[in-house]
């Protein structure tokens, strides 16, 4: 495995950065790890709790993540992924900061109904903070899905996930999730749709962040 590390870019200068680790030996675009750092102007550190309290304001983080299956879910070659799905779903629901997932209990939505192409599956969820989401994706059993993903998923042209801020209580629709991902593919990271490599403040929070940086 060949490893490359890079620092995240924060256009609106939030009081943190994310160290992103990629596996350049297999898939240069695949992020296999991400770690938060909270430097102050004088080299002090802002604690995770301090940043999370600040971030848990009027907005939460929404995400959409898509993957193109190598075979139908009932194919024997997909058995490993099928077995992991309920485990990862249960883990997400117990994770700090998890709020909502499309297709959860009482919902008729499915992973395969975001697009007409049912070989393209998607999940949409909402998290209290950006750090909560990153911790679940890169510091839990979910990392197995990422590292073994090439067994089950084909490469996708363009971004395979997008992040954006939503008002508290909002549950993104399928159309909204598609629009954000497509916008990211056309325009790159903006406040409308971004990635962990280039993050943006929730609306109106840049002024709050200035006090944390002082």
Q: What is the pLDDT of residues 95-128, one digit of tens each?
A: 989 999 987 655 555 665 678 888 888 899 999 9
Domains of the chain by start residue, with CATH: 57-213 (3.30.70.100)
Query: Poorest-confidence range of 7-11, 60-64, 181-185?
Result: 7-11
Question: Higher-confidence residue: 153 or 208?
Answer: 153
- Whole-model pTM over 0.75: no
Q: From CA 171, how far away is CA 167, in angstroms rounded?
A: 9
Residue 169: phi and psi, rounded to 5, are 90, -10
CB atoms closer than 10 angstroms to residue 5: 10
pLDDT, the chain, mean: 73
């Amino acid at each position: 495995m060949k490893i490359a590390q890079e620092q995240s870019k924060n256009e609106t200068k939030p009081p943190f950065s994310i160290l992103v680790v990629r596996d350049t030996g297999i898939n240069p675009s695949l992020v296999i790890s991400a770690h938060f750092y909270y430097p102050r102007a004088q080299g002090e550190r802002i604690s995770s709790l301090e940043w999370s309290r600040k971030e848990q304001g009027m907005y939460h983080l929404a995400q959409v993540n898509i993957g193109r299956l190598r075979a139908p879910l009932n194919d024997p070659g997909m058995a490993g992924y099928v077995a992991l799905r309920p485990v990862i779903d249960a883990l997400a629901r117990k994770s700090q900061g998890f709020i909502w997932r499309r297709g959860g209990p009482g919902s008729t939505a499915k992973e395969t109904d975001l697009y007409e192409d049912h070989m393209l599956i998607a999940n949409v969820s909402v998290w209290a903070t950006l750090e909560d989401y990153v911790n679940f994706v890169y510091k839990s059993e979910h990392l197995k899905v990422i590292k073994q993903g090439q067994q089950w998923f084909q490469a996708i042209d363009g971004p395979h996930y997008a992040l954006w801020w939503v008002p508290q209580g909002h549950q993104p629709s399928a159309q909204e999730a598609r629009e954000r991902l497509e916008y990211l593919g056309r325009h790159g990271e903006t406040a409308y749709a971004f990635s962990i490599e280039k993050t943006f403040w929730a609306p109106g929070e840049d002024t709050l962040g200035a006090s944390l940086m002082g």
